[in-house]
Amino acid sequence: MAEISLKEVALIVGVVAACYWNSLFCGFVFDDVSAILDNKDLHPSTPLKNLFQNDFWGTPMSEERSHKSYRPLTVLTFRLNYLFSELNAVSYHFLNLIFHAVVCVVFLKVCKLFLDNQSSIVASLLFAVHPIHTEAVTGVVGRAELLSSIFFLAAFLSYTKSKGPDNTIVWTPIALTVFLVAVATLCKEQGITVVGICCVYEVFIAQGYTLPVLLDTAVQILRGKGSIPFSMLQTLLKLIVLMFSTLLLVVVRVQVIQSQLPVFTRFDNPAAVSPSPARQLTFNYLLPVNAWLLLNPSELCCDWTMGTIPLVESLLDVRNIATLTFFCFLGSLIVFSLRYPGDSSKTVLMHVKKNFLGLFGYGTVHTCLENTSQKLGLAIRVHIVYVSFKDDIGAHMNVGRTYKNLNKTKEAEKSYMIAKSLMPQIIPGKKYAARVAPNHLNVYINLANLIRANESRLEEADQLYRQAISMRPDFKQAYISRGELLLKMNKPLKAKEAYLRALELDRTNADLWYNLAIVYIELKDPTEALKNFNQALELNPMHKLALFNSALLMQESGNAHLRPEAKQRLLNYVKEEPQDANGYFNLGMLAMDDKKDTEAEAWMKKAIKLQPNFRSALFNLALLYSQTAKELMALPILEDLLKYYPDHTKGLILKGDILMNQKKDIVGAKKCFEKILELDPNNVQGKHNLCVVYFEERDLIKAEKCLVETLALAPHEEYIQRHLNIVRSKIASLSAPEQSSVPAGDTATADAEKKKSFQNSKEQKNEEKSSQTTAGNNRGRSKNKKQAEKNSMEKKETPKKSTKEIKDIEKKRVAALKRLEEIERILNGE
């Protein structure tokens, strides 16, 4: 066997790179979306065993809707891409390019078995640049063909070494061949066809038999005039081993698909569901079509489904001439190769056999579409499907999906309704069985998902989900979608039933456990909710939503023992979602709970850096500064908050308080409180603080009137009544005749003490932390109210308070201001 030089390898790799370098920038198109973007088997959190239990698209092989395409080793390479670059399409295309180069090099080695060196290089270069291979190289899902071809050719090369000196059998290459056949088949099903090529090679190439020799030997044996030659017995033994191994692979493959064939529709494969003779005529016509594409690849197609090749429905169809010509030519080549010995006939035989078995194997073509042309292509496809397949359910479903993507909901609904009308109808009083393609049941799901956006049609959507379930009680997706809808309809108990039924069908679905946890949150059962979150994380330790919402649930429980685990889950969440400010914000809230002020400040700043208008992060950072005697640092944060949210009531209250008590800016504080009352005239806290401003301005009459109005808004708030009494007492004392006999200094001291006391008791502490789950439920936990008032307010004031007592009052005033957190919508990014 001739060796391959480095120059030859460099030449082939260079040509491959020159032809396909632009494929690196093609992104994900067509089937790549389902196999890569939507396939959870690529994620590191998915157990590796799932790759060997699911089909190429991530659907369990046990489910009827599975495509039954079993290619776990190809999916494993996708997973390696994801591990290093996640969903960066460049790395996927780059690996495809490398695999194509490997195929071409191995192909060169095979060519050198039958051709001279120069012819082998030319053949390999033609193979490298042939347009028919575009789909296999440019489409990421084409990697299945690339990998299968590598091991296909490697298996054949291994088998060529199974003939030892004096025609003895070398078993090691045969065992390696069987292994490589299995690997090729696990990359794509067509890999098993290499066994047929090995058999042809053994009989007609390695042993040099011709068809006349084989026929003559068979005749002699049947007449009893001779026995089977020893060399032929050895050949027969090798063939038996190959065929037995192949049979074993087929049995395993059948077991994997659980003896169920995939359900194809007229939309997917029109010829497969056509009556005779259209079915046979069309399938035979496909052979000359593909053979012609090898010779003249001028009309390639990105998708050979639907009516790409019209059915050959009559013997009088002129296309039958092409079929007849092809088989005549193919037959002539086979007869020539089998009848006459010689190198040329051997070469022709091997190429005919390989191309015939692999005619459908190494690609039809996906052209790499630019994003700007995809919508146009979709529009053309919609027109073709609609005109050509008016009675095909799948066609109308695709039309509906396309219209939905184009935001044409009315047209989408019309298409879905047509598809639904083509489904088997339930006849009252009659029982019958109809095999419905699993994908066709999605018409109910798609239609329900479309109309549920209209709040007035929720019941109608629910009816569609129930109809799908009645047609197939094991339709898991229908239960999942219905559960989501029932939550939206505020029917958590029924939603719980739907999810529990879905879990009976699939207990390994982390999303289902997560959804059930949301239901228990709606049912006000946080303990069960946390159990289900934990179950989801047991199945998928990096389930992002379960990490996030379970951490919030732990935080809101008030249980300090759960905080370390909550923190760890949030750290895992930000590792998975490093650009989501919500994760850092909630880490900051946990740190505030643990009194870790420096850490809390760092997390809040991180959240604000990622999202400068993060409402909760801005407010709580300002609150943190006010709680740690850094009120002046809080002011610029509050300015940013009010720039984005000028109607933020609690931000205005906190800013006004800092301006009045730290900056002594009575005018600025007054503007804040007046702004609050413009937004909400009945805001008790804002109105009460405005009364304090009037008191500071020594407008006691206005302060009295203000407090009377405030008391009318909150008649049960005792502190407002006490403050009103203080103001009235002050008015009375100032209007008494004997007041003039009090020394001026003492009067000023008394006034100062009253103002201090009044300020210290002006607000109550009533703060609330909350978070939101993706189901839209707000949950909060409130801190206990504190009455930040001095007993001295209820007694007659004296002018002899010490400086220490005044400082103590001020400290308690600051403590009373540690409040003002608000409910935030976490997952919606507010």
**3-state SS record for 700-740:** HHHHHHHHHHHHHHCCCCHHHHHHHHHHHHHHHHHHCHHHH
With a CB cutoff of 8 Å and minimum separation 6, the contacts of 182 are: 249
Please tell me the pTM assigned to this model. 0.62
Q: Which DSSP string do the residues of 505-537 spell out, in sequence order?
A: H-TT-HHHHHHHHHHHHHTT-HHHHHHHHHHHH
Q: In whole angstroms, what is the distance from residue 351 CA to residue 364 CA? A: 19
Q: Are 217 and 195 within 8 A, CB to CB?
A: no
**How high is the pLDDT of residue 59?**
84
**How high is the pLDDT of residue 341?**
61
Among residues 796, 795, 791, the alpha carbon closest in space to that of 812 is found at 791
CA dihedral 473, 475, 476, 478 (to 10 degrees): -100
**How high is the pLDDT of residue 792?**
27
**In this predicted model, what pLDDT tens digit does every residue of 149-205 receive, in sequence order?**
999 999 999 999 998 888 889 999 999 999 999 999 999 999 999 999 999 888 888
DSSP 52: G
Q: In whole angstroms, what is the distance from residue 552 CA to residue 576 CA? A: 17
Looking at the DSSP assignment, which residues form a beta bridge with residue 778?
772
Q: In whole angstroms, what is the distance from residue 425 CA to residue 446 CA? A: 18
Looking at the DSSP assignment, which residues form a beta bridge with residue 159?
none
Q: In whole angstroms, what is the distance from residue 101 CA to residue 199 CA? A: 27
Looking at the DSSP assignment, which residues form a beta bridge with residue 769?
781
Phi and psi at residue 786, to the nearest 5°? -125, 135
Helix axes 544-556, 526-539, angle to 10 degrees: 150
Q: Which DSSP string do the residues of 88-104 spell out, in sequence order?
A: -HHHHHHHHHHHHHHHH
**How high is the pLDDT of residue 395?**
78
What per-residue string of b and e applies to 6-20 under the rule 16 or more CB within 10 Å gives b?
eebeebbbebbeebb
Helix (H, G, I), strand (E, B) or coil at 782: strand
Q: In whole angstroms, what is the distance from residue 749 CA to residue 772 CA? A: 50
**In this predicted model, what pLDDT tens digit does every residue of 377-419 receive, in sequence order?**
464 344 444 444 566 777 788 889 889 988 999 999 999 999 8
Q: Which DSSP string do the residues of 678-696 spell out, in sequence order?
A: HH-TT-HHHHHHHHHHHHH
* Amino acid at site 171: W
**How high is the pLDDT of residue 208?**
82
Helix (H, G, I), strand (E, B) or coil at 769: strand
Strand 768-772 vs strand 778-782: parallel, antiparallel, or unpaired? antiparallel
Helical (H) or strand (E) element with 781:
strand 778-782
Phi and psi at residue 144, to the nearest 5°? -60, -45
For the beta carbon of residue 755, count every other beta carbon within 10 angstroms.
16
What are the helix and strand counts (H, E) for the chain?
A: 36, 2
Q: In whole angstroms, what is the distance from residue 483 CA to residue 497 CA? A: 8
**In this predicted model, what pLDDT tens digit does every residue of 80-97 receive, in sequence order?**
999 999 899 999 999 999
Instruction: List % helix, strand, coil for the chain (3-state, nearest 5).
Output: 70, 0, 30
**How high is the pLDDT of residue 6?**
93
Q: In whole angstroms, what is the distance from residue 81 CA to residue 98 CA? A: 13
Before 47, cis peptide (omega within 30)? no
With a CB cutoff of 8 Å and minimum separation 6, the contacts of 208 are: 341
First-last CA distance in the chain: 69
> Which residues does the chain have with pLDDT short of 50?
353-354, 356-357, 359-377, 379-388, 431-434, 738-830
Q: Are 24 and 94 within 8 A, CB to CB?
A: yes
Q: In whole angstroms, what is the distance from residue 328 CA to residue 719 CA? A: 105
Q: In whole angstroms, what is the distance from residue 356 CA to residue 347 CA? A: 14
**How high is the pLDDT of residue 501?**
93
Helix (H, G, I), strand (E, B) or coil at 436: coil
**How high is the pLDDT of residue 274?**
82
Domain boundaries, the chain: 6-257, 278-359, 646-732
Among residues 373, 209, 237, the alpha carbon closest in space to that of 302 is found at 373
**How high is the pLDDT of residue 17?**
96
Q: In whole angstroms, what is the distance from residue 364 CA to residue 131 CA? A: 9
Among residues 778, 824, 776, the alpha carbon closest in space to that of 614 is found at 824
Q: In whole angstroms, what is the distance from residue 608 CA to residue 622 CA? A: 12
Among residues 599, 608, 524, the alpha carbon closest in space to that of 781 is found at 524
Superfamily in which the 646-732 domain is placed by CATH: Tetratricopeptide repeat domain (1.25.40.10)
Residue labelled with tokens 């002539």: 332
Cα 396 vs. chain centroid, distance in angstroms?
26
